[in-house]
Amino acid sequence: MTDNHLDCKLTIQLSEGGKRKQRTVKITQDQAQALLDLIRQKYS
């Protein structure tokens, strides 16, 4: 199994007091996959 360390970007948008904020963070592919799995569990 090869590990090619693909970087994923996670963009978070939130509204705070009527102002829209946007943050982009770099995460690993493993973290992205874990996050997607969590979201699927929560909303399925």
Is residue 2 assigned to a domain? no
Contact 10, 30 (CB under 8 A): no
Q: Is the dihedral of CA 16, 20, 25, 31 positive or negative?
A: positive
- Quote the domain boundaries for residue 16: 7-43
pTM assigned to the model: 0.54
Q: How many domains does the structure of the chain reveal?
A: 1
CA-atom Rg of the chain in angstroms: 14
| 1, pLDDT greater than 50 | no
Is residue 17 assigned to a domain? yes
Structure confidence at residue 44 (pLDDT): 84
Task: Please report which residue ranges of 1-44 form alpha helices under DSSP H.
Answer: 29-43
Is residue 1 assigned to a domain? no
* Span 34-44, pLDDT tens digits: 999 999 999 98
